[in-house]
Structure 1
Amino acid sequence: MKYELPTPDATMAFGRALGSSLRAGDLVLLSGPLGAGKTTLTRGIADGLGVGGRVSSPTFVLARVHPAGVPGVPLVHVDAYRLGGDLSELDDLDLDADLERSAVVVEWGEGSAERLSADYLVVRLERREDDVRIVALEPHGTWAARVPDLRLAG
């Protein structure tokens, strides 16, 4: 499934729709080059989950936990860019424990974070020269059955 997102507001709306369908135990991996819209998408996901706190790129702290609204699911937002494939630092974050009670979104997590669960969704973002974002969803495990039922903007 591919979607065109012509503006940052459309990227936020897409994230909001995805976030509203997330539940504890969900793992979402965001893939795409710098400037593709991963953090903007995560802001939308957080809004859809109803979590509190400002959502910004956790590049220098690696992970931020955003508490759940009432009712809701907490969001753990991870930026694996600085890890450079060092899986020991990813292990130190103890994400498998967080995954039991939170939705976990990992920017730059492809190639490392998918080992946290057999059930995960890869969201690939691409930025065209005209600034339109192209989003492609790649479901794994139980996500294959869930993706067709998602009501996503696009």
Structure 2
Amino acid sequence: MVSMELATAEDTMAFGRALGARLRRGDLVLLAGPLGAGKTTLTRGIAEGLGVRGRVSSPTFVLARVHPAGTAENGGGVPLVHVDAYRLGGDLTELDDLDLDADLERSAVVVEWGEGSAERLSENYLVVRLDRRQDSDDETRTLSLEPHGTWSERTPELHLAR
């Protein structure tokens, strides 16, 4: 497991950009952490790293947003499917209705609150855990990467990319 400190929201965005720049079609990333930990901020960085189009915001009430790949001029090439499973509360029926396994064939899929339900979409996934410091009022987050399947081979490059 790789772990690092992110002192500011910009650091979270920068790590997201580094991760996004390395994502490929078929990649599944699960974001875990409490409310306010920075999952959507991280996803904004991932979207920038992928070069996708469209404003990234939490899809809490629509469950999923598709961000098309950007143009060749801005480095885009892989669409992003951004899912927020918070409201599902473990109800896999609604998650199945999103047909994410089909999206995985042509997109990178990032699922906020997906741990415990979205892992079944692929044996190859990365859990990115964000936690705020309990003993401080600063913005510092601890980010840890928990690779599964082929992500075990790719995680060291993420640590070095930051």
Pair in the same fold by TM > 0.5: yes
Match of 2:83 among 78, 84, 87: 78
Taking the aligned partners of 1:149 and 1:50, their CA distance within structure 2 comes to 19
1:135 aligns with 2:135: no
Unaligned runs of 5+ in 2: none
Matched, 1:64 2:72: no
DSSP 3-state at the match of 1:56: coil
Superposition deviation, residue 152 in structure 1: 3.0
In structure 1, the gaps of 5 or more residues are none
1:114 pairs, out of 119, 127, 133, with 119
The number of residue pairs the alignment matches comes to 153
Give the Cα–Cα distance (whole angstroms) in 1 for the partners of residues 8 and 161 of structure 2: 15
State TM-score, norm by structure 2: 0.92
Structure 1 equivalent of residue 49 of structure 2: 48
Q: CA RMSD in A?
A: 0.8
1:148 Cα shift?
Answer: 1.1
CA distance in 2, matches of 1:98, 1:105: 11
2:154 to 142, 146, 154: 146
- Residues 101-131 of structure 1: per-residue CA shift (max 9 Å, x gap): 0000000000000000000000000011322
1-structure distance, mates of 2:55, 2:34: 23
TM-score of the superposition, structure 1-length normalised? 0.97
SS of the residue 2:161 aligns to: coil
